[in-house]
Copies of this chain bind each other. A is one copy, B any other.
Amino acid sequence: MKPRWKGKGSQAKANADPMSKIVSQLQSSLIQSETRGLLSSCSVLVEVDAELADLLNRSCFGRPRITAQEDKQWFQLDMEEAFYLCFSLKCLKVIGEDGYIKSNEELWDYLKSKKPVFPVSYKVYSHLRHKNWVVRSGLQYGVDFVAYCHHPVLVHSEYAVLVLSEGDNDLNGRLRVWSDVHCTVRLCGSVAKTLLTVIVNSNNQGANSPSCLEHYTVEEQTITRWNPERSREDQTGPKNGTKKV
């Protein structure tokens, strides 16, 4: 499925300003300003100035939160976003409720305690982010993430992502029965997204520390409906623009 850009010029704009570069700028800026996030339940809150706020918005990390302060802006990061900045990009440090900076291992344990599927969920998030996809929460679409090939302002999201795990450790519990497969595929179709399942195999590595992540393997599969009438070889009708059912 090709990306659907939102209006003329969006594609050119995106090409001129690749996401990899924006994320790289964010990374440098966070390191330079020695930004500290505050751990708060299942989120990490960061206080940023206008320049960092702009970079967070353009790279699609976190959501701005309205506060009484006028000169500073606060952003709320999801678990996966925060851990990506800390562990993968190494540009953020997180302070726990006790006031101390949490090591990556401590942060890992904490996030796992809040969300048992966190290791698998994080593997998928980071896998897609590394490939320069913008990854956001997909909950309102009944999936785990939605993936955009650039900023949501410029392009519609192409993929609705479900995080699945191989083997007995299937904590996520989606797509185990046919009714769920039909439900999800139908909903994805109605919002013009392709269902992408990213299946993580822990290879019996367990999930004791973030270093186990590099031994996880990932398999991507898309699930779409196949319509025999549209797949005939002798089809002479228009193919472009046909809504994929």
Q: A212 on the interface (CB 8 Å rule)? A: no
Contacts of A142 in B (CB 8 A): 179-180, 182-184, 186-187
Residues A108-145 near B (CB distance < 8 A): 138-144
- The smallest beta-carbon distance between A177 and chain B, in angstroms, is 5
Q: Give bound CA distance, A143 to B173, whole Å.
A: 16
Is the CB of A103 closer than 8 A to any CB of chain B?
no
- A 85-100 to B, binary, CB cutoff 8 A, 1 in contact else 0: 0000000000000000
The quantity of this chain's copies bound in the complex is 2
- Smallest CB separation, A186 vs chain B (Å): 6
Point out which of A139, A176, A180, A187 has the most chain B C-beta atoms below 10 A from its C-beta: A180
> How many A residues, CB 8 Å from partner?
22
A139 touches which one: B179, B184, B187 (CB < 8 A)? B179
A21, CB-defined interface residue at 8 Å: no
CA distance A106 to B163 in the complex (A): 41
Complex interface: chain B residues within 8 A of A173 (CB): 173, 176-177, 180
Interface string of A185-200 (1 = CB under 8 A from B): 0110010000000000
Q: Is A172 an interface residue (CB 8 A)?
A: yes
Is A26 in the interface zone, CB < 8 Å from B? no
Within 8 A of B (CB), among A165-179: 172-174, 176-179
Is A107 close to B, CB under 8 A?
no
Using a CB–CB cutoff of 8 Å, the interface residues on chain A facing chain B are 138-144, 162, 172-174, 176-180, 182-184, 186-187, 190
Q: Which 6 A-B pairs have the closest CB atoms?
A: A142-B183, A173-B176, A142-B182, A187-B187, A173-B177, A142-B179
Q: Can you sample 21 A-B contacts with CB below 8 Å? A: A138-B179, A139-B178, A139-B179, A140-B182, A140-B186, A141-B182, A141-B186, A142-B182, A142-B183, A142-B187, A143-B179, A162-B179, A173-B177, A173-B180, A174-B177, A180-B183, A183-B183, A183-B184, A183-B187, A186-B187, A187-B187
